[in-house]
Amino acid sequence: MRAGRFFNLLLSLVVTLSLPNCARTQNNSPAATANTRLVIRAARVLDARAGRVIEGASVVVEGDRVTAFGPNVPAPPGAKVIDLGDVTLMPGLIDAHTHITYHFDRTGRFGISWDSGPEEALGFAKENARATLLAGITTARDLGGDSGVVTRLRDQITRGETEGPRLVVSGEPLTAAAMRGAGEDRGERVRRVREFVRARIAEGVDVIKIFEGVDETGAPLFNTQEINAAVEEAARAGLRVAVHAHEAAAVKAAVRGGCTSVEHGSFLDDEAVRELAKRHVALVPTLYLPTHYLEHRERFVAFDPFTWSFFEKLQANNLANAARAKKGGVLIVSGSDAVAGLHGHNPREIIWLVKAGLTPAEALRAATVDAAALLGLEGKVGEIKPGAFADLVAVPGDPTKDINAVEHVVFVMKGGKVLRSDGPLKD
C-alpha cells in the first residue's frame, strides 16, 4: 500500500521527530519539546465531538499541546510541516478498560506459570504498553492488576522513561474475597469496603474497580449501600468507581450505588437499561473479548469448562444486549478488556461497537470524547482542540465510512512526539 511513500515523505520532512529513539531522548528534555512547533496536515481530520470529518484541515502543535485546529489555520513562523497525505487524522484513541499487566507466560500460554516477581511483571507490562500505544491508544484506563506494578508503569510512562498510553489505573480490584468472614454483619461489611478503598488511595491509584456479581440466590455480592460506601470513600479523594457486573441484578445494585461506569453489563433487563440511562452511568460492554478468548482457546489453559461455556454465552448474546442498551439511551464507551494477546489490537473493540448498532461516528466518539469524559480527562484528551494534549493518530481511508480503518493505524503522536510513522500493523 502507501506505506513506503508515507514513510519517505515523513522522513524527508521530520527526520528526527519520526524516529522513536530521538523521541525518547527528547522526552527527557522539556526545553526541546517546548520549542517544537509543528503543523500537521491531512486530507481529512475527524471532529470526534461533531462526528464528522473536515476536509483538508491542519493541526498546529506547540510542545505537547494542540494550539490551533481548522481548515484555514496559518502555520506559525518557523513551524515544521508534516503533510500526512490521504489519511484521516483523529484524536488519539482511548481504551476505557484494559489489563495492561496481563500477558502470556514464557511458554506462550496463560495460567501455566507465574512471573518470578514484580520486575518480570513490569517488563511484560512495558511491552504491552508499547504495543497498545503503537496501535493508536494514547490513553487507557487499566481496571485490575497488581497495584505496585501498574502504578510504576504509569509513573515511568509519565516521566518519559518508557513508552505507553497515559494511564488511569485501579490497581487491585475489590472482590467478594474481601468480605470473607464478615457474614451478614452490615456494619462490618461497609467498614471493610471503606478500608479497601482507602488502601488503594494510599497506593496512589486513580480509579476504584469493584467486581460485582450475584450469589447462588441471585442477590448482588455487594449491595447498593456497600457500593455507595465505596463511591463515597473514593469521592473524598476525587476518584470514581468502575464496577464489573454481568447480571441485571448486579448492574442495578452498582448503578443505584452511584458508580460511574458498568463494565460488561452483559445480561441487562429493561429496568437495568432504564437505570443506566436515567443516572447517566456509562456502559463499557467489552464486546470483542469473548471472541478473543474463544479464538485462542489453546493458549488460555487455566480456564475450566464452565468458563468456556460462559464465554460462548457472552459471545452469542453481547451484541444484541449492547444494541438494546443503545436503543434505551445508555451512553456506551469503548473498552477492549485487553488481556494477554489483545494488547495492540485494542481498536478492534470500536469495530465491534459498530456491529452492535453504533454508527461509525458514534463508535469513534465512544473511543475519544465520551471515553475522555468517563476518565475525567475531558478537554485534555479525546479531542483535537486548543489546549488538549497533542495526541493524534492517522488511519487510511475514512473511518466514519468504513470503521475497519481503525485497525490500520499508520501514524501515532503522543504529547507532540511522533511514535509511529510507518505502515499498518502486521498481524
Q: Which residues bind Zn ion (CB under 5 A)?
A: 337
Residue among 341 and 415 whose Cβ is closer to Zn ion: 341
Residue among 258 and 335 whose Cβ is closer to Zn ion: 335
- Shortest Cβ 70–Zn ion spacing (Å): 38
- Shortest Cβ 210–Zn ion spacing (Å): 12
Cβ-based neighbours of 26, under 8 Å, separated by 6 or more: 32, 33, 36, 417
Residue among 31 and 302 whose Cβ is closer to Zn ion: 302
User: Collapsing DSSP states into helix, strand and coil, what is residue 371?
Assistant: helix
In terms of C-beta density within 10 A (0-12 exposed, 13-18 middle, 19 or more buried), how is residue 67 classed?
A: middle
Amino acid at 22: C
For residues 146 and 171, the answer to whether their CB atoms sit within 8 Å is yes
User: Collapsing DSSP states into helix, strand and coil, what is residue 119?
Assistant: helix
- Shortest Cβ 146–Zn ion spacing (Å): 14
Residue among 247 and 337 whose Cβ is closer to Zn ion: 337
Q: Which residue is nearest to Zn ion (CB)?
A: 337
Q: Cα separation of 349 and 286, whole Å?
A: 7
- Shortest Cβ 282–Zn ion spacing (Å): 15
Residue among 142, 222, 140, 224 nearest 174 (CA): 222
- Shortest Cβ 137–Zn ion spacing (Å): 15
Residue among 348 and 385 whose Cβ is closer to Zn ion: 348
Beta strands in 338-423 (DSSP E): 392-396, 411-414, 417-420
C-alpha cell at 264: 460488561
- Shortest Cβ 179–Zn ion spacing (Å): 20
Cβ-based neighbours of 228, under 8 Å, separated by 6 or more: 256, 257, 258
Whole-angstrom Cα Rg for the chain = 21
For residues 295 and 288, the answer to whether their CB atoms sit within 8 Å is no
Amino acid at 110: F
Measured over the CA atoms of residue 175, residue 178, residue 182 and residue 185, the dihedral's sign is negative
- Shortest Cβ 339–Zn ion spacing (Å): 7
Residue among 206 and 337 whose Cβ is closer to Zn ion: 337
Residue among 44, 66, 39 nearest 57 (CA): 44
- Shortest Cβ 111–Zn ion spacing (Å): 16
Residue among 47 and 95 whose Cβ is closer to Zn ion: 95
Residue among 196 and 389 whose Cβ is closer to Zn ion: 196
